[in-house]
Structure 1
Amino acid sequence: MMLYGVLAVIGLGAGITTVLFGFGGGFLMVPVMYQGLILAYGEDSAIGQAAMHCAVATSTSLMIFSSLMATRKHHKAGTLKWAIIRPLLGFIALGALMGAAVATWVSSAPLRWLFISYLGITILDCLFRPGFTAPSSGEVHPLGKVTTAIGGTLIGGVAACLGVGGSVMTVPMLRRMGASMTQATAMASPLTFPVSIAGTLGFVLFSWQEGQALGGLHLGYIDVLALFAMMAGSWCGIRLASRWIGKLPDRLHSRIYIALLIIFWLAMLL
């Protein structure tokens, strides 16, 4: 039961990062839940061997709740640009369904290294490619139709496969389209919703038998008790962080975003 108490606290942090940085909590929850399951059940147990799959699947399902709640907060604050968001939603959902299918077929160790590698590339991109940390005017330029289709499908596939919500792709993309950090992180929340819905359905449908073998309350690879513990913490975190929407200076906001990515990368690596 201690594990679920820890996950509730992690859910609190995930709720805060969802609102302020658009993460959806995956970068925080996946490393902690992965390590927690290994420590609680042992690396050679059925759950230990499926720890990365369980962490990714449970993180993805939590994002249904957190993305909806964060979207509501940002909509009330007036930070969403729906004309930019709507064209991407369907393609992201399609990619997420494919990504969840791939994730259930890949063993736990390669999935962990995919997560680490992807996060490392993202950090380097934010640090060394011009534009991410530069102040923004807030004038967002729309994507072309082909870029929307390819980019949306790729974002959904990677996000669902790794359980990270897609913000680590959408926030840098939106920044280079001219969005401020407040706008970019706000728009990451509704773009996370189709990832979480399609990804969760994929993890349940494609891994139902594996979930039955794990015992306890599992829907496919989704750990139901862990999910509810993190939902409770996330609800508190989102309510707490909503008062800070739009109040962080743009340059500082972008630098904290990169710093958090580095922390999560080190946590998963170690």
Structure 2
Amino acid sequence: MELALYLAMGAGAGVLAGLLGVGGGIVIVPLLLLVFPTLPWGGAQGASAAHLAHLALGTSLASIVFTSISSVRAHHLRGAVDWALVRRMAPGLLLGTLAGTVVASRLSTPALKAVFVAFSLYVGVQMLLNARPKASRELPGPAGLHAAGGAIGVFSSLVGIGGGSVAVPFMSWCSVPIHRAIATSAALGFPIALAGSAGYILNGLHAAQQGQVLPPFSLGYVYLPALLGLAGASVLTAPLGAKLAHALPVARLKQVFALLLLGLGLRMLWSLLA
């Protein structure tokens, strides 16, 4: 049953990564935070209960490594990825994401949950109202793109996403067409996920060396059984999402997804208050 849940999450995350450019992590993280407390090591008396959010974030980013490869390949075959922009933003993304994992490793699970709740509610409202920033400027120069990449990387690592929920609005604001922004965001998700998963692995290994107890079958803050199911399914479904992005009314689908996201955010908020 546990593996079936991870496979279902991965399938949905793969479609979302290709379809909406959101990386899937925005759904994976809250779902993992629902599943992990039901496992022996994650319950109220579990030895690893204090690290639930860190494990959810690290596992989400590790799964996006595989999802982004599959998704970006599908977008690349359609000629929709702006590789020049990816190359200019990648250094900032890598450094910012690594820095974000260091910050996250020093925050408690409730604090990380609160950050994610605020983010998911904000993105949900933004998607529901279709409140994209107006294309009012051009892309900045190298220094500006490095800074933007760094900010996107820090934030993405704190909420366990591939950066699409931040990168797509940024590119739309800079007059990048929406389908090109979604495709390029999928490519930007790879350096974010690579640096983020590496950072959570290293910080988790350091925590284990300091005497912190992590669950069996984990590599740092990456829970390998969940990664196996998430990655295995998402790699298969990400190309489908990329194909649908060029054929379906993405704006209407985003509104449906926004309702789901708001529901998950409110559910997490209730658990925090309780």
Q: TM-score, normalised by structure 2?
A: 0.87
- Asked if the contact 2:97–2:192 (Cα under 8 Å) also holds between the matched residues in 1, the reply is yes
Question: Equivalents in 2 of 1:153, 1:26: separation in Å?
Answer: 19
1:259: Cα distance to partner?
4.3
1:222: Cα distance to partner?
0.6
Question: Equivalents in 2 of 1:200, 1:62: separation in Å?
Answer: 9
1:258: Cα distance to partner?
4.1
1:196: Cα distance to partner?
1.0
The DSSP-based 3-state class of the residue aligned with 2:18 is helix
Which residue does 1:165 correspond to in 2?
162
Question: Equivalents in 2 of 1:190, 1:263: separation in Å?
Answer: 28
Question: Equivalents in 1 of 2:220, 2:98: separation in Å?
Answer: 15
Q: Which amino acid aligns with 1:244?
A: L
Which residue does 1:114 correspond to in 2?
115
Which residue does 1:93 correspond to in 2?
94
Question: Equivalents in 2 of 1:99, 1:92: separation in Å?
Answer: 10
Is it true that 1:229 corresponds to 2:229 in the alignment?
yes
* Alpha-carbon distance change, 78 to 150 in structure 1, aligned in 2, over 3 angstroms: same
Once the two structures are superposed, residues 173-215 of structure 1 have per-residue CA deviations (whole angstroms, 9 ceiling, x without a partner) of: 1122223332222111111111111111111111205457324
- Asked if the contact 1:17–1:24 (Cα under 8 Å) also holds between the matched residues in 2, the reply is yes
- Asked if the contact 1:126–1:172 (Cα under 8 Å) also holds between the matched residues in 2, the reply is no
Once the two structures are superposed, residues 85-119 of structure 1 have per-residue CA deviations (whole angstroms, 9 ceiling, x without a partner) of: 22111101100000011111111110000111123
Q: Which amino acid aligns with 1:72?
A: R
Which residue does 1:175 correspond to in 2?
172
> Where do residues 143-222 of structure 1 align in structure 2 (5 Å cutoff)?
143-210=140-207, 213-222=213-222
Question: Equivalents in 1 of 2:137, 2:261: separation in Å?
Answer: 24
Identity fraction in percent: 27
1:225: Cα distance to partner?
1.1
Question: Equivalents in 1 of 2:179, 2:18: separation in Å?
Answer: 10
- Asked if the contact 1:119–1:261 (Cα under 8 Å) also holds between the matched residues in 2, the reply is yes
1:121: Cα distance to partner?
3.2
Question: Equivalents in 2 of 1:182, 1:264: separation in Å?
Answer: 26
Alignment partner of 1:142 out of 139, 142, 151: 139
- Asked if the contact 2:203–2:221 (Cα under 8 Å) also holds between the matched residues in 1, the reply is no
The DSSP-based 3-state class of the residue aligned with 2:48 is helix
Which residue does 1:18 correspond to in 2?
17
Which residue does 1:243 correspond to in 2?
243
The DSSP-based 3-state class of the residue aligned with 2:39 is helix
* Alpha-carbon distance change, 13 to 124 in structure 1, aligned in 2, over 3 angstroms: closer
Q: TM-score, normalised by structure 1?
A: 0.88
Question: Equivalents in 1 of 2:64, 2:109: separation in Å?
Answer: 21
Query: Paired residues, what number?
Result: 265
CA RMSD of aligned residues (A): 2.5
* Alpha-carbon distance change, 142 to 160 in structure 1, aligned in 2, over 3 angstroms: same
The DSSP-based 3-state class of the residue aligned with 2:225 is helix
Q: Which amino acid aligns with 2:9?
A: I
Which residue does 2:7 correspond to in 1?
8
Question: Equivalents in 2 of 1:16, 1:239: separation in Å?
Answer: 7
The DSSP-based 3-state class of the residue aligned with 2:181 is helix
